[in-house]
Structure 1
Amino acid sequence: MRLPDGRDLEYEVQGPSTGPVALFHHGMPGSAVPMDTVLGSMTARGFRVITYSRAGYGTSSHATGRTVADTAADCAFLLTHLGVKRYLTVGWSAGGPHALASAAVAPESVEGVLLVSSFAPFDADGLDYVEGMGAQNVAQFGTVGHGESAMRELVGQMASAVRGNTSADVATEMASLLPPVDLAVLTAEYGADNAANMDHGLSRGDEGWVADLAALTSPWGFDFGVVVAPVELWHGTVDQMVPVTHGQWLAEHLPTAEVHLEPEQGHLSIAIGSLGEKLAVLRGRVADRATS
C-alpha cells in the first residue's frame, strides 16, 4: 500500500476474514513473509493476523531516521486502510517496542499488547543493556555511539552470515545467542520459516536492519505512561538474545502488565507454537476489562 508521504508499505493478511485482528511486529531482521510456525497457533485459534515489513525491509520503502513511534504510525494508517477499528498487537523481540508504540500511538484502537522476549529501552535506568547477551549481540549493540559507518559495517557482516543460508548455517553463525532449547527450535521446522522471512527482509539490502538498530537504541518517541491497554509480557529466563533482565525492567515500568517469566525457556522456544494461546489469554483480559 502507499503511505501518505509516498512510501510503500508491504503487508500480508492470514487467517479467517471475520476473526479478531492481531497486528504482528517482526524481529530484527524480519519481514511481512508469514511464518506458519509462528503464526499458525494464532490463526488456528481464529485470529486474523496482519504482518508487515518495517521501512527498509523487503519492498517497504526506506524511511530516513525512523523512530519506533514512526513505525507505529505507519501501522495505524495500514489498519485504518484495511478498515480495522479495534485490534490486538503482538511484538516479538525487536517487535516488542513497536507493539508498545502501537498502543501509544493508537490507544483508541489497540485493545491489548502481547510482548514476547522484548527489548527494553537502550537508556533504561538501572539496566545493563548487554549483560547476559551472546557475543554477536554484544558486538552489534557495541557499535552504537561509534558512528553510522561502524554500525553499517557490522550489520553488513551479520546480514551476510544469515542471508541465503540454511538453518544449520545460521545456527552456527548465531551460536553465542542460542542456548540448547533455542538451538533445537532453530534447527527444526521453524528454521526454514525464519530463513525465508529474513531473506525477503534483506533482499534489497541491509537498510532495514541498520534502521532498526538505530531506532532501538535511540529514543522510541513515546512515553510508557500513555500505554493504558492490558499487556501480557512473556520472557524466558535463559534468553541470550534479549536477556530476561529486559523483561523484568519492562515489567516494573508497565503498570498494566501481567508478567510471565518462564524458567528454562529461551528467545525462540518461548514463542514457537504457543503465541495463539498467549494471545487468547490477552483477549480474555480485554473482554473482562470491557465487562467490568
Structure 2
Amino acid sequence: MAYAVLPAGETKKVRTPDGRDLAYLEFGQPGSPLVIHNHGGPSSRLEGTLLASGAISHGLRLVSVDRPGNGRSSPQKDRTYKGWADDLMTVADALGYQQFGVSGWSEGGPWALAAAAYIDPSRLRHVSYIAGAAYGAFGDNSAAQYLDKVDALGGQLALHHRMAFHLMYELLELDAVHFRKSYIKTLIKMVNERDAKLLEDPTIAEAFADSSAECFAQGSTALVQDAELIYRRWPFDVTKIERSVHMWQGMEDHLVPYRINQEVSQRMPGAVWHPVEGEDHFMPIPASADVFAVAARELGV
C-alpha cells in the first residue's frame, strides 16, 4: 500500500496571463508524465503530500495547485470553471508540457470535470475524478436528496442566504485553523471505521490538518466562492462529456454519498466507474497507487 505522507518541499508559483500567481507543490521527477491535482475543500496544495507516493510509484510527476484565493494563490474576483481550465493549461505550459492529466478529490472533483469539459482531449490525456462533490451537476443543489442535513442546508444557504453561508465557512475556518484536534475528531466521528483508523494515524492527521488550515491562509472568501459555484447549476453539461473520465468512489462514503456520483456516471457518456467497496471518503489515500496506475497507463508510462 503506497500511501506514505511525503514532505511538502518548496512552494513554487506560476504567473497567469492576467498577472495572478498560482502556488503549487511538485512531487516526482521533472520530465515524467504530468498530473495536476485539484484539491478538495477546505484543503490546499498540501493535499498532494497525502497522494503523491502513489503517483511517484507509477513514474508520474504530481503537481498540486492552490485554486485562486486558497492557500497562497492570488485571489480572483470572477471565478469560473472555464477560467480554471485555462489556469490548468497555464500551469502545464509553464512546466513545459503539451499533454498532461488531472485529478480532483472531493470539492476538487468538479474542477477536474470542468477540465474534461473545456480542454481538448488531445491535450488533456487523463482525468481522475475522486469522490467529487457533484452538487450542481444537474441544476442548483441538484444532489440535495442524497446529502446529509448539514450539507443540504449548506446548499440552501449558498443559493438563498449568502451572509449565513459566509458565516458557516468562517466558523469552519476557526475550527480548522485554531482547533485542529477538534477538527480531526469531528471528521473521525463522521466516517467509517477504515477512515477513522487513517485519521487516527498522527502523520496522516497532521498532514490533513495542515492542508485544511492552509486553505484559509487568506481567509474563507475563496472557499466560499468555490462552494457557491459547486452548489449552483454548473455551466458545462456532464451529459455531453464523451472523453474518458475515471470516477473513483468509496461505496461507504459518508461525506459524498455514492449515489451522487453514480448518477453522474450513468448520465455521462465518458464515465468509467470505479466503485471501491468498504471505503469511505478518504479512500484515495490508501488507494492512491490504484488511482494513479490508471493515470500512468493513459499517459503512456
What TM-score do you get using the length of structure 1 for normalisation? Answer: 0.89
Closer, same or farther: CA 176–140 of 1 in aligned 2, 3 Å: farther
Q: Does 1:234 align with 2:254?
A: no
Query: Which amino acid is 1:89 matched to?
Result: V
| Counterparts of 1:52 and 1:152, CA distance in 2 | 24
Pick from 217, 236, 239 the counterpart of residue 203 of structure 1: 217
Whether contact under 8 Å (2:42, 2:215) holds in the other structure is yes
Q: Name the SS of the counterpart of 2:279 in structure 1.
A: coil
| Counterparts of 1:133 and 1:163, CA distance in 2 | 26
Pick from 255, 259, 273 the counterpart of residue 286 of structure 2: 273
- Larger displacement relative to structure 2 (182-191 or 131-140): 131-140
Cα displacement (A) at 1:132: 4.7
Q: Does 1:4 align with 2:5?
A: no
Cα displacement (A) at 1:234: 1.2
Deviations 1:160-184 (A, max 9, x none): 1111433x42233335632332222
Alignment partner, residue 183 of structure 1: 196
Alignment partner, residue 73 of structure 1: 86
Cα displacement (A) at 1:38: 1.8
Q: Name the SS of the counterpart of 1:113 in structure 2.
A: strand
| Counterparts of 2:124 and 2:45, CA distance in 1 | 20
Taking the TM superposition and a 5 Å limit, the aligned residue runs for 1:141-290 are 141-166=155-180, 168-174=181-187, 177-188=190-201, 189-224=203-238, 227-268=241-282, 270-285=283-298
Alignment partner, residue 13 of structure 1: 26
Cα displacement (A) at 1:223: 2.8
| Counterparts of 2:49 and 2:171, CA distance in 1 | 28
| Counterparts of 1:84 and 1:221, CA distance in 2 | 27
Q: Name the SS of the counterpart of 1:114 in structure 2.
A: strand
Whether contact under 8 Å (1:15, 1:46) holds in the other structure is yes
Q: Structure 1, unaligned stretches of length 5 or more?
A: none
- Larger displacement relative to structure 2 (181-190 or 88-97): 181-190
RMSD: 2.4
| Counterparts of 1:226 and 1:73, CA distance in 2 | 20
| Counterparts of 1:30 and 1:267, CA distance in 2 | 14
Deviations 1:228-258 (A, max 9, x none): 4322111112111111011101111221222
Query: Which amino acid is 1:31 matched to?
Result: S
- Larger displacement relative to structure 2 (85-94 or 61-70): 61-70
Q: Name the SS of the counterpart of 1:12 in structure 2.
A: strand
Q: Name the SS of the counterpart of 2:159 in structure 1.
A: coil
Q: Name the SS of the counterpart of 1:242 in structure 2.
A: coil
Alignment partner, residue 38 of structure 1: 51
- Larger displacement relative to structure 2 (150-159 or 183-192): 183-192
Q: Name the SS of the counterpart of 1:59 in structure 2.
A: coil
Whether contact under 8 Å (1:143, 1:150) holds in the other structure is yes
What TM-score do you get using the length of structure 2 for normalisation? Answer: 0.86
Whether contact under 8 Å (2:158, 2:231) holds in the other structure is yes
Taking the TM superposition and a 5 Å limit, the aligned residue runs for 1:113-132 are 113-122=127-136, 124=138, 129-132=143-146
Whether contact under 8 Å (1:76, 1:102) holds in the other structure is no
Q: Structure 2, unaligned stretches of length 5 or more?
A: 1-13
| Counterparts of 1:74 and 1:170, CA distance in 2 | 31
Alignment partner, residue 6 of structure 2: none
Cα displacement (A) at 1:121: 4.2
Query: Which amino acid is 1:140 matched to?
Result: G
Q: Name the SS of the counterpart of 1:234 in structure 2.
A: strand
Query: Which amino acid is 1:91 matched to?
Result: G
Deviations 1:22-76 (A, max 9, x none): 1100001121225433221111221101111011111212212312332222111
Identity %: 23
Closer, same or farther: CA 262–247 of 1 in aligned 2, 3 Å: same
Closer, same or farther: CA 82–5 of 1 in aligned 2, 3 Å: same
